[in-house]
Structure 1
Amino acid sequence: MSNIPETGRTPRVQIRLVAIQVLVFSLLLTLGGRLWYLQIRNGEEYTDEAKNNHVQQVVQPAVRGTILDARGVPLADNETRLVVSASRTELMKMKDDGKAVLARLAEVLDMKPKDVADKVRLCDSETPQPCWNGSPYQPIPVTDEATTQQALQIRERAEDFPGITAEPTAVRRYPAPGGSNTAQVLGYLSPVTDEEIKKAENTRSPLLRSDQIGRSGLERTYDSELRGKAGVTRYEVDNLGRVIGEANNDEAVPGAHVVTSIDARVQGVAEYQLNAAMEEARKQHDRNTNQNYKADAGAVVVMESKTGRVVAMASNPTYDPNAWVGGISGKDYAKLTGKDSNYPLLNRAIQGQAAPGSIFKVIPTTAAVNAGYDFNGRYPCPSSYSIGGQVFKNFESQGHGSISLGKALEVSCDTVYYALAHQQWQKDGGNKPKKNPADWFYKTAHQFGLGKETGIDLPNEVTGRVPDRKWKKDFWEANKDGWCKQGKKGGTYVELLAYENCLEGMKMRAGDSVNYSIGQGDTLVTPIQMATIYAAISNGGTMYNPSVGKAVISPDGKTVQEMKPKSHGKLPMDAKTRELIDEALEGVATRGTAAWRFGGWPQDKIPMHAKTGTAEVYGKQTTSWFATYTDDYTIVMTISQGGTGSGASGPFVRNIYDELYGLDKEGNQDLGRALLPKPQKELPKIEKDGSINAPLIKPYVPAKPEDENKQQIAVGRRD
């Protein structure tokens, strides 16, 4: 037993308890003070900093779907390239913000250090291209053209290139099978903009900053189907950009395949023959201007007559869509858009507008019948037609006596249409029009679908123009001030024209109606509009919306969404009138203005129908038009400043038909070499693994040219 009294132990224990209590109280007081400091004194500051801890996305782009021709041949696909990328997050951790690393990278890639640095800087309102407009947390591509040797250097010397990767990556490719460029039909890609991202936020196909989207052609029309869905990995990062955790991960879904009605072989032929026609035209002398034809632009459309599906569509001048892959250079962009480029980005098959000349005459022929004229009646075809002292001549001042409307189409007699249009103008009141004039010739043009889009599944189609009374009035109101300022009585032709337009530009004058009746004056059409019209005459009267897309097929081939042909109306003629016009157009190919281009054609096996046209344009050389059809196909070709219809375009349209049907110049058919004697019906098969057993296509080698005398442009024939 201890000898220490119990009362002596108590004060020490109490002292210890008091000390502990003081310590605990002090700690609580300190913590409370600290909490007050953090939450009250500096609460707003720390709240703002906490907001900077957020989720960042790293995107794995989806593999874009392929665009296939009707047999499964890729027109636009993807290829694996060695892409060198830089992680901006890693570079920013370095003392010099990665400048030394980027300089070493530039040396390996044979690039200028500034060019590499510009590639990885972030875009903003003050930063010009090149710059990166995607997420700063994902790798930024520096080049997609690295060589194997360059990639190996980067990977083997990883310590010299922190934050730099060199990986195989899928990038867009336009392979031009068999030489078929198809540029304006396919279109091209470019990076998405902030405005587009915002616009697509609440749609079924939202956009990410890393996305490339279609800017024209099929790439634009079917962008959402082709693009697929990008994979997204979400990281939690602090306000310094350091990753503090991974939120979740969505896997990428590849884009679907778009099957088109284009046949790459026929496309190659169409492009070649259009270019050959323009080159040949430039060799020919224009006696009106005393210089060779300029043939500065042209287009050709090959269409299935019974469905409106486009088998080939070529526009010249053209370009290489691969120039846009990986970002187009300033130099290449200037070549495609500069004043002297002649604008190759334009698809002149749907965006090129010109007066149609005599291929327009199927419309006033129909209008005359609808107005009560007998198709088989007799109509004078003199060498000229006079209105108030103004003489409108038949070409070469040639007369044909009294002929039917069918014969007028066959020999392309202008004066028959001059008289009909003048008579209708007079019936409508002439210079003092009735309150509700019939305007048969103008109304019928609208019923044929002119003056509006055809509905083709390509962007930026133009409408053309029907210069009816409403258009005349609107055009006068928009231009009268300029005309009145420029006009001068008794001045030059231009000054006199402006003077007359200033006074009476709102009126539908006799001369306007007369010129309009033969596809001249202010009338504008596009090749796709005229192809649609002639295909409808061929198929019995149905005007189909022209189409290029045929089906959308899922990456594994299991889901097929086929686009069926759609119609936007019927031709404004009864069956009898259509049959009579059909017979007349057959006569054009066998006896009329196109007959010299179809010598030896097997008319009994493959009935050919045609209409030639040459449009006069003030200040320019004539525009060549050639419209044709069989039971299977409709082909329309036009060449700006190219000369005559049958002369400039005729032989080259014939060459396209020969390749389609496997014909020689004597009309003998070899189905073994025929490219497409009947339109393609079956869709290509896509396997579960996404592979396509596409046929190989050899480059197009044209047959030996016709006799030189036949190939030349006939400068003495307009149609």
Structure 2
Amino acid sequence: MSNIPETGRTQRVQIRLVVIQILVFSLLLTLGGRLWYLQIRNGQEYTDEAKNNHVQQVVQPAVRGAILDARGVPLADNETRLVVSASRTELLKMEDDGDAVLTRLAAVLDMKPKDVKDKVRLCDAKTPQPCWNGSPYQPIPVTDEATTQQALQIRERAEDFPGITAEPTAVRRYAAPGGANTAQVLGYLSPVTDEEITKAQDTESPYLRSDQVGRSGLERTYDRELRGKAGVTRYEVDNLGRVIGQAANDPAEPGASVVTSIDARVQSVAEYELDKAMKTARKEFDKNTNENYKADSGAVVVMEAKTGRVVAMASLPDYDPNAWVGGISAKDYDKLTTKKSNYPLLNRAIQGQAAPGSIFKVVSSTAAVNAGYPFDGNYPCPSSYSIGGQTFKNFESQGYGSITIGRALEVSCDTVYYGIAHKEWLKDGGTNPKKNPGDWFYKTAHQFGLGKETGIDLPNEVTGRVPDRQWKESFFKANKAFWCKDGKKDGTYAQQIEYENCLEGDKMRAGDSVNYSIGQGDTLVTPIQMATIYAAISNGGTLYDPTVGKAIVSGDGKTVQEIKPVPHGKLPFTGSTRDDIDEALAGVATRGSAAWRFGGWPQDKIPMHAKTGTAEVYGKQTTSWFATYTKDYSIVMTISQGGTGSGASGPAVRNIYNALYGLDAEGKQDLKKALLPTPQKTLPKIQPDGTINAPKVKPYDPDADKPLGEGQQALAATLGRRD
């Protein structure tokens, strides 16, 4: 045992504890002083330095989804190109605002300096195209067609090109498989604007400054699905721009693909035949104007009769949507927007409005039956019909005696409809209508879906017009001052009309009613409306929302969202009336006004139904209409200033049907040559990796000089051209 007393040990322990306490206190005092030095004494200095550290976002654009035809053929997809871009932010930091850099860049790219500078200027109300309508903080593409040599020059001489980048980028491509342009249906892209970014920032699908946005067509309708989600990596950087850490990483999600009901092969045929029909019409002489037909625009719609799905949709004049990729040039922009170009950006299948002429008579026939006039009753068909001092002629002034409504449809007798419409006008009170007029002809048109949108999944569809009493009153109020100012009782024809409108333009006159009954006057329809109506007659009366989109397939191919056909109404006729109209329209194709265009058609195997239309337009040549259907499809074609329905549009519609069903000029069928003898129901096969193996599409190149078959020649000689 130790000899040290217990009290001594206790004293030593106490001393050690005191020393430890002093050391701990000293350390705390030192730390406290250091904290005071950092936070109080030099706090502002370090705060200022910390402010210079910030998070920098690097955006990886998502690959935009493809737009595919019904068999998986790409109509719009992406390809890798060398894109040269300019940072406007960096250029504006230079003394000359980057003028010298852009001039050197123009020399490398074999472009004019002015063209390069125009591309990087910002768009406003006073700045013409080309200009940049996207965010000024986003790199602005100068060209997406740089060669490898040009890109290497820019990257190897980086000191000569500050603010300029040259790198591979996925850009949009509109493939036009088999020559199927499909421009107005597909639409085009352009950069997102600051205003759009602000509006969308609180939505489920906000925009990034690097985004391209669909501006028309399917690119616009399905923009959210196609766009995907851009990847964003956030880096912490110091005030010298050095990366000091990674804050977060959100990987990019590729956009979904949209499978459409368009068949690229049929689309190619439709575009070719419409173009050929218009060129042929321009060679025909118009005896009414003593010059050839102008045939300045046209459209055609091919639709599945039982679903409303659009198999082909063509509009002329058209354009190349690739012109928008990478920024549009001034020359190309003028081609698309000037009056001389006749506005090819318009999709005339859904935006072209015209009087329908005799293809409207399916509406008038239904209205007559619903108003109490038997379909198989007898009605006079004289060569003309007089009301007061005004005479309304039958087409080509031909009379057929006493005929039924069905026969009136077959031979397109106007005066039968004049007589019924005039009687209904008188029954409703004439120019002084009774309190609740029947207005069967106007009511029925609305029930057929006219005067409103069909609901097609394409933007900017127009409504057309049903000139009923309500429209008449509104139109009168809007134009009365002008009519009363410029109208003259003994002036030109137009001034006389203005004078009459000034006196009683709000009244429904007898002339208005009889003209309306044959699809003339102020009535306006679109090709998509008439294709929907004729498809509904084919399927028994169901009106469908026309659709182009058929399914949305996720980027990995694991999720497929089908777009089902949606009905929006029923035609206002009984089953027996539908059958009567169906039989009459079959008669149009076999013995009526369209028979000379369907010589040799296998009516027993593929019943054809048709209606021709030739609409008069004040100050212009007649509009050609041809509306048809089988059990599978409805096809409607129109050509502005193109002449008669069967004359201008008939051959083209016949050729489209021939391609669909694999028929030759004599009506013999070869299913091996048939493009789509029945509508396609299945979706294209999707591989496990999300890709779709698409078949190749051969260009449509028929024998343009092939003569009419014997049956067609005989009928053409016998019947001649009619409405």
TM-score scaled by length of structure 1: 0.90
SS class of match (1:519): coil
1:713–1:120 distance in 2 versus 1, CA, 3 Å: farther
Tell me what 1:652 maps to.
652
C-alpha distance after superposition, 1:574-633 (max 9, x if no partner): 100000000000000000000000000000000000000000011100000000010111
Asked if 2 retains the 8 angstrom alpha-carbon contact of 1:643 and 1:713, the reply is: no
Preserved CA contact (<8 Å) 2:119 2:327: no
- Aligned runs of 1:72-471 on 2, under 5 Å? 72-86=72-86, 103-113=103-113, 116=116, 130-131=131-132, 133-134=134-135, 136=137, 140-157=140-157, 164-236=164-236, 245-471=245-471
Deviations 1:624-658 (A, max 9, x none): 00000101111000000000000010011101101
Give the counterpart letter for 1:284 in structure 2.
E
**Counterpart mapping for 1:464-503 below 5 A:** 464-503=464-503
1:7 match: none
How many angstroms apart in 1 are the aligned matches of 2:374 and 2:301? 33
Q: Across the two proteins, how many residue pairs are aligned to each other?
A: 690
Per-residue Cα deviation, 1:88-119 (whole angstroms, up to 9, x for no partner) = 78778989887766554443222345655665
Q: Take 1:363 and 1:239, find their aligned partners in 2: how far apart are those partners?
A: 74
Change (3 A) 1:97 1:546: closer
Deviation at 1:337, TM superposition (A): 0.4
Aligned to 2:25: none
1:613 aligns with 2:613: yes
- What letter matches 1:578 in structure 2? R
Aligned-partner SS, 1:700: coil
- Unmatched 5+ stretches in structure 2: 1-28
Q: Which letter maps to 1:611? A: K
List per-residue Cα deviations over 1:24-48 (Å, max 9, x = no partner).
99x999x889958986xx99xx88x
Q: How far apart, in 2, do the equivalents of 1:509 and 1:400 lie?
A: 27
Distance across 2 between alignment mates of 1:630 and 1:664: 17
Deviates more, 1:115-124 or 1:657-666: 115-124
For 1:375 and 1:142, the matched residues in 2 are separated by: 66
Match of 1:385, SS?
Answer: strand
Is the 8 Å Cα contact of residues 177 and 697 (structure 1) preserved in structure 2? yes
CA distance in structure 2 between the partners assigned to 1:397 and 1:132 by the alignment: 57
Local SS of the residue matching 2:341:
coil
Aligned to 1:63: 63
1:411-466 deviations in Å (ceiling 9; x for gaps): 11100000000000011011110011110000000000000000000000000000
Q: Write out per-residue CA displacement over residues 275-303 of structure 1, whole angstroms, 9 at most, x where no aligned residue.
A: 00000000000000010000000000000
Distance change >3 Å, CA 102–CA 423, structure 1 → 2: closer
Q: For the residues of structure 2 that align with 1:372 and 1:233, how far apart are their CA atoms?
A: 72
State the alpha-carbon separation in 2 of the partners of residues 540 and 125 from structure 1: 51
1:56–1:500 Cα change, 3 Å: farther
CA contact (8 A) 1:280 1:712 kept: no
The one-letter code sitting in structure 2 at the alignment partner of 1:276 is: K
Is the contact between residue 63 and residue 227 of structure 1 (CA under 8 Å) also seen in structure 2?
yes
- Aligned match of 2:5: none
Shift of 1:707: 3.3
CA distance in 1, matches of 2:279, 2:125: 46
Letter in 2 for 1:382: P
Distance 1:714 1:212 in 2: 58
Identity of aligned residues (%): 79
Q: What is the CA distance between 1:335 and its match in structure 2?
A: 1.1
Matched with 2:506 is 506
Farther-moved stretch of structure 1 (126-135 vs 438-447)? 126-135
**Cα gap change, 1:495/1:687 in structure 2, threshold over 3 Å: closer, same or farther?**
same
Distance of aligned partners of 1:74 and 1:96 in 2 relative to their CA distance in 1, 3 Å threshold: same
**5 Å matches for 1:517-528?**
517-528=517-528
Instruction: Tell me the alpha carbon deviations over residues 392-420 of structure 1, each in whole angstroms, 9 at most, x when there is no partner.
Output: 11122211111111011001110000000
Query: Matched residues in 2 for 1:335 and 1:655: separation?
Result: 30
Post-superposition shift, 1:307?
0.6
The farther-off stretch of 679-688 and 264-273 is 679-688
Q: What's the counterpart of residue 600 of structure 1? A: 600
Greater Cα offset, 379-388 or 447-456: 379-388
CA distance in 2, matches of 1:478, 1:319: 36
Give the structure 2 partner of residue 564 of structure 1.
564
Shift of 1:494: 1.3
Residue identity in the other structure for 1:478:
A
Q: Is the 8 A contact 1:281 1:713 kept in 2?
A: no
CA positional deviation for 1:339: 1.9
**In structure 1, C-alpha distance between the alignment counterparts of 2:673 and 2:225, rounded to whole Å:** 36
Give the C-alpha shift of residue 87 in structure 1.
Answer: 5.9
For 2:124 and 2:580, the matched residues in 1 are separated by 65
Pairing 1:590–2:590 present: yes
Secondary structure of 1:340's partner?
Answer: helix
Does the 8 Å contact 2:596/2:719 carry over to 1? no
Following superposition, the deviation at residue 122 of structure 1 comes to 7.4
Tell me what 1:624 maps to.
Answer: 624
Shift of 1:249: 1.9
For 2:127 and 2:373, locate their aligned partners in 1 and report how far apart those are by CA, in whole Å. 68
C-alpha displacement of 1:131: 4.6
Q: 1:236 to 1:439 in 2, by over 3 A?
A: same
Aligned to 2:636: 636
Mapped to 2, the partners of 1:373 and 1:124 lie a distance apart of 60
Q: Residue 115 and residue 374 in structure 1: after superposition, are their counterparts in 2 closer, same or farther (change >3 A)?
A: closer
**Deviation (angstroms), 1:493:** 1.2
Does the CA contact (< 8 Å) of 2:295 and 2:641 recur in 1? yes
Alignment-derived partner of residue 5 in structure 1: none
Q: Secondary structure at the match of 2:232?
A: strand
Once the two structures are superposed, residues 453-508 of structure 1 have per-residue CA deviations (whole angstroms, 9 ceiling, x without a partner) of 00000000000000000000000000000000011122221111111100100000
Cα distance in 2, alignment partners of residues 245 and 117 from structure 1? 37
**More displaced, 212-221 or 92-101?**
92-101
Structure 1 residues 213, 699: closer, same or farther in 2, change over 3 A? same
The 1:442–1:157 alpha-carbon spacing in structure 2 relative to 1, beyond 3 Å, is same
How far apart are the structure 1 equivalents of 2:497 and 2:78?
A: 56
1:305 maps to a residue whose letter is A
What SS class does the counterpart of residue 201 from structure 2 fall into?
coil
Q: Deviation digits for residues 508-567 of structure 1, max 9, x if unmatched?
A: 000000000000000000000000000000001100111000000011211000001001
User: Which residue identity lines up with residue 546 of structure 1 in the other structure?
Assistant: P
C-alpha change, 1:115 and 1:610, in structure 2 (3 Å) is: closer
Q: CA deviation at 1:57?
A: 2.7
| Separation in structure 1 between the aligned mates of residue 452 and residue 292 of structure 2, nearest angstrom | 35
Distance (whole Å) between structure 2 residues aligned to residue 131 and residue 120 of structure 1 = 6
Residue type at the aligned position of 1:424: E
- Aligned partner letter, 1:130: C
Distance in 1 between residues matched to 2:547 and 2:651, nearest whole Å: 27
Amino acid at match of 1:281: A
Q: Which runs of 5 or more residues in structure 1 are unaligned?
A: 1-23
State the one-letter code of the partner of 1:455. Answer: G
Give, in whole Å, the separation in 2 of the partners of 1:624 and 1:201. Answer: 48
Tell me the secondary structure at the aligned position of residue 425 of structure 2. Answer: helix
Over 3 Å counting, the alpha-carbon distance change for 1:158 and 1:668 in structure 2 is same
Question: Which secondary structure does the structure 2 equivalent of 1:543 belong to?
Answer: strand
Q: Which amino acid aligns with 1:75?
A: L
In structure 1, give the amino acid aligned to 2:548.
V
Residue type at the aligned position of 1:572:
P
- TM-aligned CA distance change 1:436 to 1:90, over 3 Å: closer
Q: CA RMSD in A?
A: 3.1
Contact 1:132 1:140 in 2 (8 A): no
Q: Give me the whole-angstrom Cα distance separating, in 1, the residues matched to 2:106 and 2:245.
A: 33
Quote the Cα distance in structure 2 between the aligned partners of 1:560 and 1:350. Answer: 28
